[in-house]
Amino acid sequence: MHLSLYRKFRPQSFEEMVRQEHVVTVLKNQIETGTVGHAYLFCGPRGTGKTSVARIFARAVNCEEPKNGSPCGVCPTCRALAQGSLDVAEIDAASNNGVAEMRDLREKVQYPPVTGKYKVYIVDEVHMLTDSAFNALLKTLEEPPAHAIFILATTEPHKIPATILSRCMRLDFKLLPEEDLENHLKRILKEIGREYEEEAVSAIARAGAGSDRDMLSIAEMCLAYGEKLTYEGVTAVLGAADFNETAALCEAVISLDMPAAIERTESILSAGKSVGVLCRDLLEMLNRVAIAKTCRTAEKLLSLPKTQFARVREIAQKADGRAILRATEILARTETDLRLVSSPRICLETAIMKISVPAADDSVDALTVRLNALEQRLKEGNFVSAPAPVPAASPAQPSAPAVPAKTVPEEPQSAPDEYEFPMEEPVFEEAFFPDAPARTAPVKEPIKEPVKEPPKPVEKPAEKPQTAPISGLSAEIVYGKFMRLLRKTSKNGVLFTMCMDLEAKFEGDTLVLYTDSETVARSLSKEDHTAVMSEVFSQLGVSSFAVKLKGAAKKGENPLDQFKKDFGDYPVEIK
């Protein structure tokens, strides 16, 4: 029979436990002094040893000659319990959440133990019990027979009723440090005679995230991958993105380059990686960058291959510490949210946008990040890759439409100006945080665009001009209409965001949208995006539009053009 590593190497004595000394010491002392209690509550994350300790404890209290608080393993009682005995019962509340089981338990607990001194009931995942089951359990706990010991184990102590809590001795299990997980895994690998690379063991221990069980099940998959445990094999098994891809995404995110961040996210996800794994990979990368930025012993701590560590350090040197922290906080929240939302991909992409566009966020952290980025840009004299391509929905923004067609901004550092477009509503916030209260007074416009009607311009071509007459409107107004309609008709938040900082101009009959960003220009020219855009434009009566890189349009007005020229011309024509 195949036994999983976790079960095969389950500790049999307190000495074999990985950490949790604070719990083990208490229990050992109680056994040695004969002062065991009747009810314990073991709290802590999964895979930290709650059930293992409960089982050892159950044997130790019954052992005739406990050694140093642990069961001796050789006395008749120990041997009987090893065979399985009615005196130690394990109940999984996750599958037995009924009152019937608890009543049954209440009845059976009255009979004295068969082999040892105590009957021990281990109730796993006790928070899963129903209210009436808890009540039944409570009655037993209120007047337990002298020979009964209850060990309730849970990952969610806050769900345990206070009446139960007050009758238990609570012991908290902690997540295991990576170093201990590593040592445990190495011990096991030596015992089963498998070779390993240090880096592979580190990676598995890290992936275990504090849980011995999780680590060992990951190790098991990795061991099946190849004879020797290699870092490469582990990476392949964990489905971790190519390190470089994650690193590049991380770099884009914390340098507030949203278009690049979104494009990289899309490309990693379309390569088949799951949203959850990407989120975790990115968090891990941020963590590495944070360590590389702050710890002198980072290289040792991270135990990455040399080239990878060099890359992490490179990102860390350029990064703003506040930005790393803020990104980590947002993503950590997102990781939790991902389990609850119906469309995790949008959830993650929104988080990435939020991180890389601190303008959309008015927390102190976001403001600090913006300030640092601004200072950095001032220092570098570089105003081109403005990291805030969002019309900040500030109350100062008037709802007046159509500032007459903007000429090229003379002062490029006035970023908000450059990104303003004539829209009456705070577009970004509404689009991405629909539940957030609007910060500007919501000026509802009387004229509604034809949203709900599914667009059928093909069938009734004659009506097209009627629905949206654009003649005589300035390019900016048309662009504003386009953005509103795009927001209402397309669920693609990425596309919407990329369209946000464009400058619109009519060139003949063609509406040309200029962008500063080569990435945006390239991405908007992709077929799936142009299809959506052209659909929306056609509803507005615009039959021809194009996306162009700004550099080509403006010549020699300021030193920035030098930079823009480096990107070259990237016009995209769509007819």
Cβ of residue 319: shortest distance to Zn ion, in angstroms?
57
- Minimum CB distance to Zn ion smaller for 68 or for 163: 68
Both tokens assigned to 424: 């009456």
Span interacting with Zn ion, options 69-77, 229-237, 288-296, 542-550, rule CB under 5 A? 69-77
- Minimum Å distance from CB 59 to Zn ion? 7
Smaller CB separation from Zn ion, 60 or 323? 60
- The nearer residue to Zn ion, 75 or 188, going by C-beta atoms, is 75
CB of 322 to Zn ion, least distance (A): 57
> For residues 77 and 525, which CB has a smaller minimum distance to Zn ion in the complex?
77
The residue whose two tokens read 């992709």 is 526
By beta-carbon proximity to Zn ion, the closer residue of 69 and 71 is 71
* Smallest gap from residue 79 Cβ to Zn ion (A): 8
Which stretch in 61-69, 114-122, 167-175, 457-465 sits in contact with Zn ion by CB under 5 A?
61-69
Q: How far is the CB of 164 from Zn ion (least distance, A)?
A: 31
Q: Is 63 in the site for Zn ion (CB under 5 A)?
A: yes
Least Å distance between CB 276 and Zn ion?
A: 45
User: Using the rule CB under 5 A, is 81 a contact of Zn ion?
Assistant: no
Binding segment for Zn ion (CB under 5 A), chosen from 73-81, 120-128, 218-226, 446-454, is 73-81
SS (H, E, C) 134-184: HHHHHHHHHCCCCCEEEEEEECCHHHCCHHHHCCCEEEECCCCCHHHHHHH
- Nearest-angstrom CA–CA distance, 350 and 344: 10
Q: What mask, x for binding Zn ion by CB under 5 A, covers residues 8 to 47?
A: ----------------------------------------
Q: Which residues pair with 88 in a beta bridge?
A: 120
Give least dist CB 76 to Zn ion, A. 8
CA distance 560 to 426: 29
Q: Considering only CA atoms, which of 219, 210, 215, 218 is closest in space to residue 177?
A: 210
Nearer to Zn ion, 30 or 154 (CB): 30
Task: Report in angstroms the alpha-carbon separations of 195 from 181, 188, 283.
Answer: 17, 11, 30
- Closest approach, Cβ 150 to Zn ion, in A, equals 22
| The two structure tokens encoding residue 196 | 């390993």
Nearer to Zn ion, 115 or 154 (CB): 115
Task: Report the alpha-carbon distance of residue 220 to residue 197 in Å, rounded.
Answer: 15
Sole binder of Zn ion in the list 75, 128, 291, 374 (CB under 5 A): 75
Q: Could you tell me the smallest distance in angstroms from the CB atom of residue 67 to Zn ion?
A: 8
Q: Using an 8 Å Cβ cutoff, are 200 and 208 in contact?
A: no
| Smallest separation, CB 220 to Zn ion (Å) | 31
d(CA 90, CA 474): 75
Go through the chain and tell me how many residues it has. 575
Identify which range of 71-79, 91-99, 188-196, 335-343 contacts Zn ion by CB under 5 A. Answer: 71-79
Closest by alpha carbon to 181, among 276, 277, 47? Answer: 47
| SS3 state of residue 2 | coil
How many residues contact Zn ion, by CB under 5 A?
5
Stretch that binds Zn ion, among 39-47, 59-67, 409-417, 472-480 (CB under 5 A): 59-67
C-alpha to C-alpha distance for 288 and 486, rounded to whole angstroms: 39
Find all residues with CB under 8 Å of 358, minimum gap 6, and list them: 256, 326, 366, 367, 369, 370, 373, 387, 388
State how far the Cα of 62 lies from the Cα of 77, in Å rounded to an integer.
7
Instruction: Report 456-515 residues binding Zn ion (CB under 5 A).
Output: none
Q: Tell whether residue 78 is a contact of Zn ion (CB under 5 A).
A: yes
The residues that touch Zn ion, with contacts defined as CB under 5 A, are 63, 71-72, 75, 78
